[in-house]
Amino acid sequence: MKKGLWIIVTIASITIIVVAILWIIREQTTPTGLIPEGESEKEVIEDPKEIENPNRKVSISGTIQLVNDESIGSDHYASGSFNKIVFVGDAQTQVLENVPPPKICAGDEVWVALDIIVKRINAVGDISISIDGRLYEGTSCDTDDIDGTYSTTFTVPKNTTKETSFTIKNTAEKFSDDKADITLTVYNGPAL
């Protein structure tokens, strides 16, 4: 009987010592103030959507309206739109997107092309948009005769939308009214 009581007391003592040691180890490895008293760890962990995310999903949508001053009627104008989605971040900080497609041509001789460079510019997740535009005018929609150019760069902060409009005019021909009116809308969102 004494031997059974001694075994129970020994097991209880060892259990108390092990629990005390584990509690001391936990207190030494968990910084104080990290978990407020009375709250569980689940309540303190941040929502993943609110953690800084430098990796970005960039949506670029645009409209193009072309004018060919030499044509008559419905061929005088052409319009269209495009949508592009690119990802920039740790793995790839810069992406080049080309427009067309889609190819929009007025009067079977005036069309426009855009090179859009999307670049993550800081660890916060802001992006830079660089646009190089070219207006082509010739004898077909496949002409490579550049008659006007336009370039610009602007910043889109993280989680914001920016819209910009510009015109590329035919500057190679003295009295030409050929032009491309372009509107771009860029959204810089998290790539979650």
Same domain for 153 and 179, yes or no, is: yes
Q: How far apart are CA 42 and CA 149, in angstroms?
A: 56
Same domain for 41 and 59, yes or no, is: no
Domain that holds residue 170: 53-190
Same domain for 110 and 22, yes or no, is: no
| pTM (two decimals) | 0.69
pLDDT given for residue 30 in this prediction: 44
Same domain for 18 and 65, yes or no, is: no
Rg of the chain taking only CA atoms, in angstroms: 32
| Residue 64 CB burial class (10 angstroms; 0-12, 13-18, ≥19) | buried
Same domain for 66 and 129, yes or no, is: yes
Indicate the number of domains in the chain: 2
Which stretches of the chain are DSSP H helices? 2-29, 41-44
3-state secondary structure of 122: coil
Same domain for 166 and 146, yes or no, is: yes
Same domain for 23 and 114, yes or no, is: no
CA atoms within 13 A on the CB side of 26: 7
Same domain for 37 and 111, yes or no, is: no
3-state secondary structure of 80: strand
Per-residue pLDDT of the chain (192 residues; tens, 9 = 90+): 666 667 776 777 777 777 667 666 665 544 444 444 444 443 433 334 434 567 999 999 999 999 998 766 667 889 999 999 999 998 889 999 999 988 999 988 999 999 999 999 998 899 999 999 999 998 889 999 999 999 999 999 999 999 999 999 999 888 888 999 999 999 999 987
Helix, strand, coil % in the chain, rounded to nearest 5:
20, 45, 35
- The phi, psi pair for 42, rounded to 5°, reads -60, -35
**Is-contact 119 93, C-beta < 8 A?**
yes
Q: How far apart are CA 134 and CA 182, in angstroms?
A: 12
Cis peptide before 101 (omega within 30 of 0): yes
Same domain for 32 and 120, yes or no, is: no
Same domain for 23 and 103, yes or no, is: no
Same domain for 81 and 148, yes or no, is: yes
Same domain for 27 and 67, yes or no, is: no
